[in-house]
Structure 1
Amino acid sequence: MSALLAQALAFAEADDRVRAAVLSGSRVNGAVQADAFQDIDLTFYVRELPTFTRDPHWIDRFGERMILQVPAFMAETPYDHASCILYLMQFVSGERLDLGLVPLERRAEYPPESLSKVLLDKDGAFAHLPPPHEGDFFPTPPTAQAYAHCCNEFWWLVPYVVKGMARGQLGYAKYHLDTLMRGELLRMLEWAFGCRTDWQRNPGKLGARLGEVLPGQWQAELQATYAGPSPADNWAALLTMTALFRRAAAEVASCTGHSYPAQDDRRVSAYLSEMHAQFGG
């Protein structure tokens, strides 16, 4: 147990308002190799929530912070001091503590995720919590609508990238390629991962563990889509991304019985080929 986690737990044990402490995430996941960058995802189930939220200084006891973020205080709607709250703390030591507070009376609305371990339970409220497992993070088969929307959005975005590349507007092109199109590609790759694992394995955050299951060539092509500022490299990344999406989408269609929009693919790909020949050099 890290010193920071031990300190947080000691606070929870000593403060009668804190009735339970649950550790979640990678630190209780035996499938993840531990390193110095793992966040501490901790939840306190508490009485008298406003006594915490109206006094921000109580978190100072955990050490010197580099930066703090409290999403509840950043929303346009004022925080009501009755809802769950999350304190995201990055310390100068390099450690990070994501500390959530859940009102005890709302415990049933916010149960621990499957990757959770009870560290403190003063009232026996979590006596029946199962051992940590990755079940909450397994992909689920897409509905026909979700699959169709993913395909449509991916191919819809291709002309945006082409437009940006043709105009020499690299930022515009890369936003659509690296953020929007990549999001749809990763979604499809996670579904392909699910197909190959009978939907019983965790692909990891942002597809971190896709390479454990998907073909090595797919992984190499995915890596090749991360291009630098060179226009030629970004044209190549776009072509590689469309080819990889096509293969993954075909596999997911075969697995789920959904229909792949081949006509959209053909028309957009023909346009892409024409524009690449004209502007790609």
Structure 2
Amino acid sequence: MRTEQEMMSIILSIAKNDERIRAVLMNGSRVNPNVKKDRYQDFDIVYYVQELNSFLADHSWVNAFGERIIMQMPDTMSLFPSDWPGFSYLMQFADGNRIDLTLLPLEELEKQSTFDSLSVILLDKDKLLPPLPKPNEFDYITKKPTTEEFLDCQNEFWWVATYVAKGLKRFELPYAKSMMEGPVRKMLVLILDWYIGSNHSFMINTGKDGKWLENYLDKKLWEKFVSTYSNGDYQDIWRGLHTMCSLFEEISETVAKKMGYPIFSDYPKVMEYINLLEKQ
């Protein structure tokens, strides 16, 4: 596996030797001072370029980064249509490294007034980029919710929980799991984010999709959260759903009390409905 130094050398040498590339930024976990480095971190790179067309006319130019096992170009995919002004190459290499490379036209840089707080300037041939502060997690810290956001989170959780119950009652496994592991879990993670944030003056980053929740929850809460994950057995999914509801109720009441926010008043009726469906 190529070292970080070797990868950085390739990334910068390609940029230095191509007159179309005028500036290079790196962002993401590799510049986050609070993330422990490991070999699996992506290289999140932005090339600011004079124009895009010549790059996109022949994608083979990215072969210079190394042997790939797979590449995705999201902006060419009909399944995920995109209309933004840039272009991305997501490259997984045979040696285990990965580069997520974004090309942005220089005119976009002129419009850009702010930069991701986890950004470092690697190259600036024309001194186009403003001085950036040291990389920090400011853009990723859990923000204190408004009263409306707090109520919306509760409403969404309990509303979609009924979809899970109906899907289980109809033996629609893919649908039930999709609703449970999609919107319902998203709201559960969000309420846990706010719980953790409220305990740390909203100065904590729990990571994408709550990947660092374990670092901030006590053992009992973490184990309860883990137990919300169910297998493909209908009875086990019912169990997981009830555990999710119990945990969400517990945490939302704690956060509401701490921040002086209202609790979604209809959740007892939702639980009654879910229990009725399960027993019918």
Superposed displacement of residue 79, structure 1: 7.8
Residue matched to 1:268: 270
Describe the superposition over 1:97-154 as per-residue Cα deviations: whole angstroms up to 9, x where unpaired.
Answer: 1001111222143443111111112222335111110001011122222222211111
The whole-number CA distance in structure 1 between the counterparts of 2:189 and 2:173 is 22
Superposed displacement of residue 178, structure 1: 1.6
The whole-number CA distance in structure 1 between the counterparts of 2:234 and 2:217 is 29
Segments of 5+ residues of structure 1 without an aligned counterpart are: none
The answer (yes or no) to whether the contact 1:249–1:260 under 8 Å persists in 2 is yes
| 1:88 is the counterpart of 2:90 | yes
| 1:137 is the counterpart of 2:127 | no
Residue matched to 1:101: 103
The whole-number CA distance in structure 1 between the counterparts of 2:155 and 2:80 is 34
Amino acid at match of 1:84: G
Describe the superposition over 1:162-186 as per-residue Cα deviations: whole angstroms up to 9, x where unpaired.
Answer: 2222233322221111222101111
- How does the TM-score come out when normalised to structure 1? 0.90
Alignment RMSD, CA only? Answer: 2.2
Describe the superposition over 1:8-65 as per-residue Cα deviations: whole angstroms up to 9, x where unpaired.
Answer: 1111112122121111111111211222221110011121332222221211111222
After the TM superposition, which parts of structure 1 deviate over 3 Å for at least 4 consecutive aligned residues? 75-80, 108-112
Segments of 5+ residues of structure 2 without an aligned counterpart are: none
The whole-number CA distance in structure 1 between the counterparts of 2:220 and 2:240 is 15
Aligned pair in 2 of structure 1 residues 79, 232: CA closer, same or farther (>3 Å)? Answer: closer
Which of 113, 117, 121 in structure 2 is aligned with 1:118? 121
Amino acid at match of 2:161: V
Count of residues in correspondence between the two structures: 276
The whole-number CA distance in structure 1 between the counterparts of 2:176 and 2:252 is 23
The answer (yes or no) to whether the contact 1:21–1:42 under 8 Å persists in 2 is yes
The whole-number CA distance in structure 2 between the counterparts of 1:64 and 1:114 is 31
| 1:32 is the counterpart of 2:35 | yes
Amino acid at match of 2:93: F
| 1:70 is the counterpart of 2:73 | yes
Aligned pair in 2 of structure 1 residues 93, 125: CA closer, same or farther (>3 Å)? Answer: same
The whole-number CA distance in structure 2 between the counterparts of 1:203 and 1:193 is 8
Amino acid at match of 1:272: I
Amino acid at match of 1:189: L
Superposed displacement of residue 2, structure 1: 4.2
The answer (yes or no) to whether the contact 2:74–2:80 under 8 Å persists in 1 is no
